Amino acid sequence: MKFKGFVLGMSVWLGMTAAHAQEPLYTPKAQQVAGNVYAIVGPLGQRSEANAGLNANYGFVVTAQGVILIDSGASAHGAALLEKAVKAVTPQPIRWVLNTGSQDHRWLGNDYFARRGAQVHAQAATVQTQKASAEQQLAGLQRFVGDQLKGTQPGYATVVHAGPEAAVTLGGVQFEWVQTSAHYPGDTLIHLPQSSVTFTGDLVYVDRLLGVLPQSNVRKASQAFERLRALSPRHVVPGHGQVTDMAQAQKETGNYCRFLIDNIGSAARNMDALSETLDKFAAPAQFKHLQNFDELHRANMNRVFVDFESNP
Ligand SMILES: [Zn+2]
């Protein structure tokens, strides 16, 4: 038994070393988007110790009264890394934290910033999903980031905006805060009209294929994308992928949602066979190049099919 434990321990250790060797340590770094608005663009792959679960995009706005941080990271450890990236830009403290959504890496750093005096804001529907999924998210994250989760407590917004749309001003910065419910129920986007920047949360993915989860709603996503088009931002900070513009967001997210609705949704409504439908639309040329396509596209189609089948 002792020997077996040793072998198991060795293979875990070797596995971890291999993973570390493949994946460079990710250090969050701010990039200026426009004026006093910054983005922190995370890696596109899965959560890991090397990226501290920060495989998503974050942002912040520097004001004379303090920093407004958009999304707080996947743990207290990840939150401290985001704080460092902010500190490299400004000595101002993080005074406000806004959550665009309820996926682990959007909010599990809330408690870290609240303990340092920040006020956490979110829409009511976002908090509802956070509360419903906190336990499961922490258990899931544990598998990817292990001991980095130590000291992480779920922390919820103390300033809750009713939604689905809210106009908020903090430190002289105006926000239009719009519910999308695209990836998770209660997901939002945050638009800054003064700088024409939108932080889309998990509504927009570029460079990689978006994921349709059992919690996702492709019809709501498509409607929210039209709302984003109406806002017409000059700069788009997507949930995942490089800072971009509406043209790329349209091509890689807006059009993909339409593709799923028009082809897979329609097939489900017509009561076509599931497997034939998935085969027929297996390799759309306009999306095949996106990272994670091979892992996600078929499952995405499957979920959309089932969604339209049960709710045509
Ligand atoms: Zn995400």
Residues 76, 39, 258, 208: is their CA dihedral positive or negative? negative
Report the separation in Å between the CA atom of 190 and the middle of ligand 1, taken as the mean of its atom positions.
Answer: 15
Report the separation in Å between the CA atom of 88 and the middle of ligand 1, taken as the mean of its atom positions.
Answer: 25
Report the separation in Å between the CA atom of 270 and the middle of ligand 1, taken as the mean of its atom positions.
Answer: 32
Residue 11, pLDDT score = 41
Report the separation in Å between the CA atom of 104 and the middle of ligand 1, taken as the mean of its atom positions.
Answer: 8
Report the separation in Å between the CA atom of 203 and the middle of ligand 1, taken as the mean of its atom positions.
Answer: 9
Report the separation in Å between the CA atom of 5 and the middle of ligand 1, taken as the mean of its atom positions.
Answer: 36
Report the separation in Å between the CA atom of 253 and the middle of ligand 1, taken as the mean of its atom positions.
Answer: 14
Report the separation in Å between the CA atom of 194 and the middle of ligand 1, taken as the mean of its atom positions.
Answer: 26
Residue 179, pLDDT score = 98
Report the separation in Å between the CA atom of 103 and the middle of ligand 1, taken as the mean of its atom positions.
Answer: 6
Report the separation in Å between the CA atom of 240 and the middle of ligand 1, taken as the mean of its atom positions.
Answer: 7
Report the separation in Å between the CA atom of 3 and the middle of ligand 1, taken as the mean of its atom positions.
Answer: 41
Report the separation in Å between the CA atom of 283 and the middle of ligand 1, taken as the mean of its atom positions.
Answer: 24
**CA distance linking residue 75 with residue 86, whole number of Å:** 17
Report the separation in Å between the CA atom of 133 and the middle of ligand 1, taken as the mean of its atom positions.
Answer: 14
Report the separation in Å between the CA atom of 202 and the middle of ligand 1, taken as the mean of its atom positions.
Answer: 5
Residues 42/70, Cβ–Cβ less than 8 Å: no
The two three-digit tokens of residue 125, written as one number: 């529907």
pLDDT by residue for the chain (312 residues), tens digit each? 334 444 444 444 444 444 445 788 999 999 999 999 999 999 998 999 999 999 999 999 999 999 999 999 999 999 999 999 999 999 999 999 999 999 999 999 999 999 999 999 999 999 999 999 999 999 999 999 999 999 999 999 999 999 999 999 999 999 999 999 999 999 999 999 999 999 999 999 999 999 999 999 999 999 999 999 999 999 999 999 999 999 999 999 999 999 999 999 999 999 999 999 999 999 999 999 999 999 999 999 999 999 999 999
Report the separation in Å between the CA atom of 201 and the middle of ligand 1, taken as the mean of its atom positions.
Answer: 7
Residue 23, pLDDT score = 80
Listed by start position, the domains of the chain span: 26-246
Report the separation in Å between the CA atom of 300 and the middle of ligand 1, taken as the mean of its atom positions.
Answer: 15
Report the separation in Å between the CA atom of 2 and the middle of ligand 1, taken as the mean of its atom positions.
Answer: 41
Concatenated DSSP letters of 203-271: G-B-SBPPP--TT--HHHHHHHHHHHHHH--SEEE-SBSS-B-HHHHIIIIIHHHHHIIIIIIHHHHTT
Distance from the first to the final alpha carbon of the chain: 56
Report the separation in Å between the CA atom of 241 and the middle of ligand 1, taken as the mean of its atom positions.
Answer: 10
In the three-class reduction of DSSP (H, G, I as helix; E, B as strand; rest coil), residue 312 is classed as: coil
Residue 189, pLDDT score = 98
CA-to-CA dists, residue 16 to 20, 52, 84, 175, angstroms: 6, 14, 26, 42
Report the separation in Å between the CA atom of 89 and the middle of ligand 1, taken as the mean of its atom positions.
Answer: 25
Report the separation in Å between the CA atom of 299 and the middle of ligand 1, taken as the mean of its atom positions.
Answer: 17
Task: Tell me which CATH homologous superfamily contains domain 26-246.
Answer: Ribonuclease Z/Hydroxyacylglutathione hydrolase-like (3.60.15.10)
Report the separation in Å between the CA atom of 303 and the middle of ligand 1, taken as the mean of its atom positions.
Answer: 17
CA-to-CA dists, residue 64 to 80, 95, 224, 256, angstroms: 22, 11, 32, 40
Report the separation in Å between the CA atom of 56 and the middle of ligand 1, taken as the mean of its atom positions.
Answer: 6
